[in-house]
Amino acid sequence: MIGQTLAGRYRIISYLEEGAFGQTYLAEDLHLPARDRCVVKQLKPKATDEFTLRAARYLFAREAKVLNHLGKHPGIPRLLAHFEEKKQFYLVEQFIDGRDLSEEIKAGKQLSEQQVITLLREILEILTFVHEQNIIHRDLKPSNIMRRKQDGKLFLIDFGAVKEISTQIVNPQGVTLLTVAIGTLGYMPSEQIQRKPKLASDIYALGMIAIFALTGVPPRKLPDDPQTGEIRWRDRASVSNKLANIVDKMVRFYFSQRYSSAKEALEAVKALQDPSDRSVLETVNALQKPSKLSYLKVNPAISAIALSLVLGIGGLLYLQQTLNEDPEARPKLTPILVYENSDYGIKMEYPSDWELTKVEDVLGTIAKFAPPESKVNIIPHEVTISVENLTPSMSLDEYTTSAVGEIIQFLPEARIIDSRRVKLGNREAHQIIYTGKDKKHNLVIKYMQIWFLEGDRSAPRQREDSVYLVTYQAEADKYDRFLEPVEETMIKSFEVE
């Protein structure tokens, strides 16, 4: 590869890294006057049959879109380009001139407590942005954290999701299967080894980095407590109880006992540097919690007590009656309002008492609709509209095969109830109804999704073939409650000009 030019633009200068998922090269951009340097990552699918390549193309385009969004953060390298050449996939990213943390955190070397606190805080600030996009890094380790030479700034690199492209095979039924778990032993918690990573899985990995830095002992050489499965490390480090307690919580065996996200862990680390901030933060959080009805997400018995204190017994009985009333006894939802999005040419009617939220997130969601009672449910009733660019072009059947494969692979206990061709906005579309398990709340969620493909490049925001997707979700036993307005008002009126 050395000396070759990819996509007629990126000339390979040297190897940076070679691994099981592909190769990483240093390259120069021949289209820029200064021939700026960049990083080219070559991703090789495990198989090259048409089924696998088709799914890999879809996955590659999706992950490139995610990386492009993440690159807006100053602590994550920018994605400069992505392309396919000779059945192999390439990402071109910003080159960070520096060294990774494996040169700072290594066997036999112990960092000071203050060094580790500073390290945790800077990484958690970047990871908070990642987790706010509901994205899991999946491969946090010292070699995937770069320190830039010019200013010492840290960068997160090598997001694990991209490596799925190199680890998948697709069976003739179109179901995508990963051949290995993504991550690095020693930094992967048990749920990630079982291919069920959570946001808290990244917290575990960062906690193991902190332990390595404090003890100088590589993660795989640390003993476990045979009774609890927890990591035993405190006797190998000189560390305060306050920091040790935070790190211990980061690496708990059960993910439910860890910090749930980077933001929560960051608040704890910040309090080490300025304890006065912590008390203020806790007071604000305590005042905000009731307004968000967060007590409905805990034990039902506790929720009932809390509600009775706020509403009184009469108010609680009224609320319970409202939640359990016969759907047929409810009045029809009239009048209706019209949602319009001129950027995508979308028009749709919706009940006037439903809440409309206009958004634009990394997964392509542009609007969410929720009925008035949605917020009292653990899993809210919700209708979303999404528009995703599709690269490369696919037929409706090809996209459906990939989408169904992803549902089966990634949704716990997924079960397909119905799958058939329908019409949506006078377009040929595909509808699928399925269920899956929300293990956090031990609830079954039911989904209806309808999608069609559109290739009108004249639309203002559309530069490629696109997928228009309407999704309705609800707890399975409450799914029928708003099915009529969803089908008869919203889906029936959906139009794309």
Which candidate, 257, 246, 184, places its Cα nearest to that of 211?
Answer: 246
Quick one: CATH architecture of 5-284? Orthogonal Bundle (1.10)
The tokens describing 211, both together, are 């332990």
- For the stretch 424-482, pLDDT in tens is 988 899 999 999 888 777 888 999 999 999 864 444 444 347 889 999 999 888 888 88
Name the active-site residue from 36, 97, 100, 139: 139
Contact in structure between 146 and 133 (CB atoms under 8 Å): no
CA–CA separation, 93 and 81 (whole Å):
7
Q: What is the pLDDT of residue 122?
A: 96
What distance lies between CA 45 and its chain's CA centroid?
A: 22
The residues near 251 (Cβ < 8 Å, ≥ 6 apart) are 189, 204, 207, 208, 211, 230, 231, 258
Give Cβ neighbours of residue 200 (< 8 Å, ≥ 6 apart). 189, 255, 256, 258, 259, 260, 261
Written as six digits, the tokens of 90 are 């390439």
Given pLDDT bands bounded at 50, 70 and 90, which one contains residue 89?
Answer: confident
Q: What is the pLDDT of residue 457?
A: 40
Helices (H), 346-448: 396-410
Residue pointed to by tokens 């991209």:
162
Domain boundaries, the chain: 5-284, 294-324, 331-496
Q: What is the pLDDT of residues 413-440, one digit of tens each?
A: 888 888 888 889 888 999 999 998 887 7
Model confidence over 112-171: pLDDT tens digits?
999 999 999 999 999 999 998 888 888 899 999 999 999 999 999 988 655 443 444 444
Residue keyed to tokens 């608040």: 267
List, in sequence order, every beta strand (DSSP E) within 352-463: 355-358, 365-370, 382-389, 415-424, 427-438, 443-454
The SS3 assignment for 69 reads helix
pLDDT of the residue at 280: 35
Query: CA nearest 85: which of 20, 40, 26?
Result: 40
Q: How far apart are CA 438 and CA 255, in angstroms?
A: 15
Over residues 274-290, the mean pLDDT reads 40
Provide the CA 154 distance to its chain's centre, in angstroms. 22
Check residues 90 and 320 and name the one with the higher pLDDT. 90
- Whole-angstrom Cα distance, residue 361 to residue 189? 28
pLDDT higher for 18 or 256?
256
The pLDDT value recorded for residue 327 is 47
Question: Is 224 a catalytic site residue?
Answer: no
Cβ–Cβ < 8 Å for 362, 401: no
The residue among 154, 153, 264, 294 whose CA lies nearest residue 202 is 264
Is 301 a residue whose pLDDT tops 80?
no
Conformational region of residue 357, where left means phi above 0, alpha means psi within -120 to 50, and beta covers everything else: beta
Greatest mean pLDDT among 221-225, 227-231, 438-442, 452-456: 221-225
The answer, yes or no, to whether residue 325 has pLDDT greater than 70, is no
Helix axes 199-215, 262-273, angle to 10 degrees: 40
CATH domain 331-496 topology: Protein Transport Mog1p; Chain A (3.40.1000)
pLDDT value, residue 208 = 97
Cβ neighbour number for residue 490 with a 10 Å cutoff: 22
